C-alpha cells in the first residue's frame, strides 16, 4: 500500500479534490520511495491507483526514480471506502504476485487495519506498507487475511537519500 505524497494546497487546483498536485516534498518522497522499492527488491508486478492527480504523480515519479515499470489500472473505487478498495484488490489477475495500491487517507489506514485484523495504523503521506496476505487467490482477500510486514515512511531517509534533492 502506497499513500500518495504530500499534496500542494497552494496550487490553483487545490480546491478540486481530484486535481490537487503533489508539493515539492511530495514529489521528493515519491521518488525516494520508488527507489526504496527497487533497492529493497519489492518492485510490484501490477499497480492499481486512485484517479486523483496526486496518486498518479506519486506512482509515475516512483516508477521513474526506481527504474521499474508494471501494468497500472486506475479505479474510482480507490477514492472511496475500505470495502471498495478491498473489492479492487480482490479483482486482481491471478498472475499478479506483488500488487501496489496507491491512494488516500483515511482509507489506506482503514484498509491496512482491516487486512491485518485490527490495530491502529496511520499511513502518513508518501508511506509504504507491505501486507503479506495469507491467501491462495486474490478473491480470498478479506478481513484479517494479512500480516503487516513493514511500514516505511519517507522521512526515515535523509533529504538527499538515493541522490534526490529538491
Query: How many domains are there within the chain?
Result: 1
- φ, ψ of residue 7 to 5 degrees: the values are -90, 160
Cα(136)–Cα(45) distance, integer angstroms? 16
**The C-alpha cell of 148 is what?**
503487516
Q: Is the pLDDT of residue 6 over 50?
A: yes
Q: Please write the tens of the pLDDT for every residue from 20-57.
A: 789 999 999 999 999 999 999 999 999 999 999 999 99
CATH of residue 145's domain is 3.40.50.1240
The predicted structure's pLDDT at residue 166: 47
Domain that holds residue 136: 2-163
The answer to pTM > 0.85 is: yes
The model's confidence at residue 3, banded by pLDDT at 50, 70 and 90, is very high
**Arithmetic mean of pLDDT over the chain:** 90
pLDDT exceeds cutoff 60 at 16:
no
Residue 71 has pLDDT above 50, yes or no: yes
Q: How far apart are the first and last CA of the chain?
A: 25
Quick one: average pLDDT of 9-13? 64
User: In DSSP terms, which residues pair with 73 in a beta bridge?
Assistant: 48
Amino acid at each position: 500500500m502506497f499513500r500518495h505524497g504530500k499534496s500542494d494546497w497552494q496550487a490553483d487546483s487545490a480546491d478540486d479534490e481530484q486535481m490537487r498536485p503533489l508539493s515539492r516534498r511530495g514529489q521528493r518522497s515519491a521518488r525516494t520511495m520508488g527507489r526504496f522499492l527497487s533497492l529493497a527488491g519489492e518492485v510490484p508486478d501490477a499497480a492499481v491507483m486512485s484517479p486523483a492527480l496526486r496518486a498518479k504523480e506519486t506512482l509515475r515519479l516512483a516508477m521513474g526514480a526506481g527504474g521499474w515499470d508494471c501494468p497500472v489500472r486506475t479505479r474510482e473505487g480507490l477514492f472511496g471506502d475500505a470495502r471498495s478498495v478491498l473489492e479492487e484488490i480482490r479483482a486482481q489477475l491471478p498472475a499478479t504476485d506483488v500488487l501496489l495500491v496507491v491512494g488516500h487517507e483515511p482509507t489506506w489506514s482503514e484498509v491496512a487495519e482491516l487486512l491485518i485484523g485490527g490495530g491502529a495504523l496511520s499511513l502518513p503521506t508518501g508511506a509504504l506498507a507491505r501486507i503479506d496476505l495469507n491467501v491462495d487467490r486474490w478473491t480470498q482477500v478479506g478481513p484479517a487475511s494479512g500480516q503487516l510486514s513493514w511500514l516505511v515512511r519517507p522521512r526515515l531517509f535523509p533529504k538527499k537519500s538515493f541522490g534526490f534533492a529538491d
